[in-house]
Amino acid sequence: MATKALLVSLATLQGVQAWGTLGHATVAYIAQNYVTSDVKAWAQDVLGDTSTSYLANVASWADTYRSTTAGKFSAVFHYIDAEDNPPTSCNIDYDRDCGSAGCSVSAIANYTQRVGDGRLSDANVQEALKFLVHFIGDITQPLHDEALDTGGNTITVTFDGYTNDNLHSDWDTYIPEKLVGGDSLSDALSWATSLTKEINSGDYSSLKASWIAGDDIDDAITTATRWASDANALVCSVVMPDGVAALQEGDLYPTYYNSVISTVELQIAKAGYRLGNWLNIVYSQNIVAKHKRSTVRYNNILPPPRPLSKAKLARLALDGNCGRHRH
63 an active-site residue? yes
Decide if 183 is inside a domain: yes
Q: Identify the residue with better confidence: 284 or 303.
A: 284
In a domain, 120, yes or no: yes
Instruction: For residue 182, give the CATH number of its domain.
Output: 1.10.575.10
Please compute the mean of the pLDDT values over residues 77-104 and round it to a whole number. 97
Give yes or no: 327 in active site: no
321 in a domain, yes or no? no
**Active-site residue, from 42, 61, 63, 230:** 63
Domain assignment of residue 3, yes or no: no
Any domain includes 74? yes
Reply yes or no on whether 326 is catalytic.
no
Residue 172: active-site member = yes
The answer as to whether 29 is a domain residue is yes
Q: Tens digit of pLDDT for each residue in 94-133?
A: 999 999 999 999 999 999 999 999 999 999 999 999 999 9
Euclidean distance between CA atoms 2 and 208, whole angstroms: 49
Of these residues, 96, 114, 168, 325, which one is catalytic? 168
Which among 81, 165, 172, 230 is annotated as catalytic?
172
Q: Choose, from 61, 96, 114, 134, the residue flagged as catalytic.
A: 134
The pLDDT assigned to 307 comes to 81
pLDDT at 5 over 90: no
Q: Residue 238: inside a domain, yes or no?
A: yes
- Catalytic residue at 291? no
Residue 321's pLDDT is 62
How does pLDDT run across 236-267, given as a tens digit for each residue? 999 999 999 999 999 999 999 999 999 999 99
Element (H, E) at 159: strand 156-159
Q: How many domains does the chain divide into?
A: 1
Helix spans in the chain (H): 2-11, 20-32, 37-47, 61-66, 94-97, 104-115, 122-138, 149-152, 167-169, 175-180, 185-201, 208-212, 220-234, 244-247, 255-282, 298-301, 310-317
Which of these is catalytic: 42, 61, 66, 274?
66
Catalytic residue flag (residue 144) = yes
Predicted confidence at residue 323, as pLDDT, reads 55
**10 in any annotated domain:** no
pLDDT band at 14; cut points 50, 70, 90: very low
Per-residue pLDDT, averaged over 257-284, amounts to 98
Please indicate whether residue 24 is annotated as part of the active site. Answer: yes
* Domain span holding position 191: 20-293
- Whether the per-residue pLDDT at 193 is higher than 80: the answer is yes
Q: What is the pLDDT of residue 23?
A: 98
Is pLDDT at 145 greater than 70 in this prediction?
A: yes
